[in-house]
A = this chain, B = another copy of it.
Amino acid sequence: MAMRLTGTFLDAVVADIPSNNWGRAEWAADFDAMRAVGIDTVILIRAGARDRAVFDSRVLRDACDVMPAYGDLMTLFLDEAERCGMDFYYGTYDSGAWRGGAHQREADLNMALADEVMERYGSRRAFRGWYICHEIPRYHEGAMVVYERLARHLRGLRDLPILISPWLLGRKEFPQDYLSPEDHEKNWQRVFERIQGLVDIVAFQDGLCAFTDLPAYLDVNARLCRNHGIACWSNVENFERGGVPMKFLPIDWRHLRYKMEAAEAAGCSKLITFEFSHFMSPQSMYPSARHLYRRYAEWLGIDL
């Protein structure tokens, strides 16, 4: 049987994707739809970004100028993950400021926030992984500091797998400025040397290169992971990139399938996606997501 998507990110504060505006009932229906197609892992893409957060955190309220959360999506997601027998990965907070040099503060803040999270939610059965949300496409010294300090702290709080999901400078999104698979490998070699032993899983985003370049990048990614004792997942993005002015809408099913098959061929051990709820859920605000779900279920041989 072909590999399927078994993990998805959860996108719960508006960063660049607008809100589905779901309440508890709609989220519950969404978890049912995930479970029906074999999702066993949900990864919070971020606990917060800039002025917004998924729960009313004392740490964020004190340190940043955040809006009220008006609810507790951490609890909702953990409830649903437990009801559906899924693993939940907690994703860190992204202030946006670390790229410009404030990486020590980003690490400090996230360490304090992780302490609060552990205290409030650490006893939850579904709490099974850490996701460091600070994304880079190439070596970045500030990010290395965030990864090192944060990974040590998170593992100290609880020894759970630590995931990152980098992007890459592919030809589709960066026609002027892309890294070829060879240059990508040289560049990421430096990163992997730094994160070896700290990060357990790397799931590169697969949507930024031309589709037909993907196998070459996936080979590089798998080799880098293998050589550094890191698990290689693939983040099989389920929204369309490249040439389409509407950013972002559900991907063509044929494109998703192509990328899944490429990841399997490269030897990735698990396929996750960004993300189920907007781009392939029957509940999504984008009606073509419902049709993507149907195509995917047909392909899996699931009778909806």
Chain B, residue nearest A299 (CB): B70
Q: Measured between C-beta atoms, what is the minimum distance from A240 to chain B in Å?
A: 5
How often does this chain occur in the complex, in copies? 3
A4-60: which residues lie under 8 A (CB-CB) from chain B?
Answer: 13-23, 26, 51-52
Flag whether A97 is at the interface (Cβ < 8 A): no
Task: Tell me if B244 and A14 are in contact (CB < 8 A).
Answer: yes
Task: Tell me if A288 and B21 are in contact (CB < 8 A).
Answer: yes
Known: A68-B258, A211-B51, A252-B21. A244 touches B291 (CB 8 A): no
CA distance A67 to B287 in the complex (A): 25
Flag whether A65 is at the interface (Cβ < 8 A): yes
Q: Measured between C-beta atoms, what is the minimum distance from A178 to chain B in Å?
A: 16
Chain B, residue nearest A20 (CB): B288
| Contact flags A53-83 to B (C-beta < 8 A → 1, else 0) | 0000000000001111111000000000000
Chain B neighbourhood of A249, CB < 8 A: 18, 285
Interface of A is mostly: loop
Task: Tell me if A70 and B254 are in contact (CB < 8 A).
Answer: yes
Contact of A288 among B18, B65, B248, B258 (CB under 8 A): B18
CA distance A46 to B21 in the complex (A): 29
Flag whether A257 is at the interface (Cβ < 8 A): yes
Chain B, residue nearest A288 (CB): B285
CA distance A286 to B20 in the complex (A): 10
Task: Tell me if A18 and B252 are in contact (CB < 8 A).
Answer: yes
The residue in A66, A248, A291 that gathers the most chain B C-beta atoms within 10 A of its C-beta is: A291
Chain B neighbourhood of A70, CB < 8 A: 253-254, 257-258
Chain B neighbourhood of A140, CB < 8 A: none
A219-234: which residues lie under 8 A (CB-CB) from chain B?
Answer: none
Q: Measured between C-beta atoms, what is the minimum distance from A58 to chain B in Å?
A: 17
Would you give 7 A-B contacts (Cβ < 8 Å), ordered by A?
Answer: A14-B255, A16-B244, A19-B255, A21-B294, A22-B291, A249-B285, A285-B286
Known: A19-B288, A23-B298, A52-B254. 10 other contacts (CB 8 A): A14-B255, A15-B243, A16-B244, A18-B240, A18-B250, A19-B250, A21-B250, A23-B294, A23-B295, A246-B247
